[in-house]
Amino acid sequence: MTDLLSRDATAIADAVRRQRISAVSVTKTALDRAAAANAALNAFSALFPDAALAAAAEIDRGIAQGIDPGPLAGVPVAAKNLFDIAGVTTLAGSKILADAPPAGRDATVVARLKAAGAVVIGATHMDEFAYGFTTQNAHYGDTHNPHDLARSAGGSSGGSAAAVAARLVPVALGSDTNGSIRVPAAFCGIFGLKPTLRRLSRAGAYPFVHELDHVGPFACSVRDLALAYDLMQGPDAADGFCLQRPVEPAWPTLDQPVSGLRAAVLDGWFVDGAEPAVLAAVARVADALGADRKVTLSGVAEARAAAFCLTAASGAALHLDALRARPQDFDPATRDRFFAGALLPASVIDRVRRLRLAFRDQLRAVFETADVLIAPATPCAAPRLDQTTLMLGGSPVPLRPNVGLYTQPISFIGLPVVTVPMAGPEGLPIGIQIIAPAWREDVALRVAAQLERDVVVSAPDPKGIGA
Amino acid sequence: MDDIFETAERLGIPVPEAYRETVLANYERLLQQAALVMAAPLPDAQQDHLADFVP
């Protein structure tokens, strides 16, 4: 069973559907392992043994009656604790929401995974209100990296990434406003997909920055990542921001060759300051894809600054009432940035939006001569949890705001990205962004699948905690 | 910079004294980024609905 849980969702679902193992047995094992590992990782904010075992029993009953529960039959999954799960209070990593009533229904993407047979075993830990890159939380503690417990799992979806990396669940859900799927995927050494902005429904996902929020999956294999993504696609009447696009399955295209695809490496901003091991990882991916062309974008610092400003101002506006009424109940790191954001002149935000259009148009032009772009996800491997500065190009800079230097400009214009994991120095993984044109998640996933087949990328087994 | 807190007070966003030093540090960091945004060259005014961004 332990071996089965260490394999991927597709293998587990296949075993459950063939009745080689029961969904109840899989779920019980996953719950036991998650409970045991959580003391070291602090990846889960809550486990749901009663609901999960009841759901698993229902799946087993259905299979016994000849009903196919779906492609995720009996697969244990987890969701960042900003996704509504019926009967559970949605915390979004905060104390402010701790007294809120339980959610009346599941978030759309949670419901879609459940409808495909997934069993939600728990909610995962995060930075308060998703405002951070390290999953260090004044209320609920830090999430630890399964590859080295003294290091950050990344954030803000660090609990989900740590749970997948530790092989506690094969699939977990996260959100990404400035890098919150891609950074933890990189630090934890797993695959993460940030889909195109407005592709997946955000209904029932606690918001952070309306204009930048994305939701997406983590997994240890590309086929699991694509499967979970496909199952969550489709328009949603409950979310007007989610565009009315048909389901465009990526999973069936994963085996298609990528020869002929034009890959290029992002230069300039996206390599300045990166550690040598990160640059070496980019070079390995570029070599594997035959990417000998480099692209230098203009205005990247400004695009990143614009995302920084929009995040502070929009996040502050969302939480203004609580900031006024109970500032003492925020994580200090969140509160101080929200106060600052509340005081930003509106003229900056108007200009942010104009910059966004110009930067989007620049990338649209780049994609006329390239099919995917390659860039590091982070400037370094996972930092120590007690680390406060990052060496960037030989100079120390504050760690927390600068971990997302390479992710923020890309999410600012909503492009789809798959983060692929590679082995790095000292057993710590490194993540590389495979960036595709808008709505072409299938291309990024196909490239990731080819890199996985060629054993250029893979999710390494964690050393910090037994898999 | 201290008058920023007076402005905040008038906007109904009082910043408690105990938080002002760290809020100010964050505000200064934010203004550095905002200055980059304000100085960025832009093409002529675009017609798209700015808040309804499509990637």
Q: CB–CB of A340 and B30 under 8 A?
A: yes
Query: Over the stretch A19-57, which tens digit does the pLDDT of each residue have?
Result: 999 999 999 999 999 999 999 999 999 999 999 999 999
Cα of A26 to nearest chain B Cα, Å: 40
Query: Between B8, B42, B55, which is nearest A360 by CB?
Result: B55
Residue with tokens 């955000």: A202
Query: Over the stretch A86-97, which tens digit does the pLDDT of each residue have?
Result: 999 999 999 999
Mean pLDDT, rounded, for A334-352: 96
> What residue segments make up the domains of chain B, in order of their start?
3-39
- What string of DSSP letters covers A173-230? EEEESSSTTHHHHHHHT-EEEE--TTSS--TTB--S-TTT-EEEEEESSHHHHHHHHH
Going by C-alpha positions, the residue among A205, A194, A118 that lies closest to residue A416 is A194
Mean pLDDT, rounded, for B3-16: 94
Tell me the sheet residues that pair with A392: A395
**A456 has pLDDT over 50:** yes
Query: Over the stretch A121-158, which tens digit does the pLDDT of each residue have?
Result: 999 999 999 999 999 999 999 999 999 999 999 999 99
Which pLDDT value is given to residue A4? 72
Which pLDDT value is given to residue B53? 87
The answer to whether A180 is a known catalytic residue is yes
Query: Between B12, B38, B48, which is nearest A324 by CB?
Result: B12
Which pLDDT value is given to residue A427? 87
> What residue segments make up the domains of chain A, in order of their start?
2-453
The one-letter code for the residue type at A218 is: F
The answer to whether A463 is a known catalytic residue is no
Which pLDDT value is given to residue B51? 64
Interface test with A, best of B1, B11, B26 (most A CBs within 10 A): B26
Query: Over the stretch A171-214, which tens digit does the pLDDT of each residue have?
Result: 999 999 999 999 999 999 999 999 999 999 999 999 999 999 99
Helix or strand (DSSP H, E) at A76: strand A76-80
Cα of A86 to nearest chain B Cα, Å: 30
Going by C-alpha positions, the residue among A411, A361, A410, A413 that lies closest to residue B42 is A361
| Per-chain mean pLDDT for chain A | 96
Residue among A156, A160, A175, A458 flagged as catalytic? A156
Query: Over the stretch A361-391, which tens digit does the pLDDT of each residue have?
Result: 999 999 999 999 999 999 999 999 999 999 8
Could you give the percent of chain A with pLDDT greater than 90? 95
Query: Over the stretch A152-164, which tens digit does the pLDDT of each residue have?
Result: 999 999 999 999 9
Residue among A160, A180, A221, A458 flagged as catalytic? A180
Query: Between A309, A328, A354, which is nearest B42 by CB?
Result: A354
The answer to whether A80 is a known catalytic residue is yes
Q: CB–CB of A305 and B55 under 8 A?
A: no
Interface test with B, best of A197, A311, A337, A339 (most B CBs within 10 A): A339
Per-residue pLDDT band at A467 (split at 50, 70, 90): very low
The one-letter code for the residue type at B53 is: F
Which pLDDT value is given to residue A436? 98
CA–CA separation, A142 vs A147, rounded Å? Answer: 15
The structure's pTM equals 0.97
The CATH architecture assigned to A2-453 reads: Alpha-Beta Complex (3.90)
Going by C-alpha positions, the residue among A344, A335, A279 that lies closest to residue A313 is A344
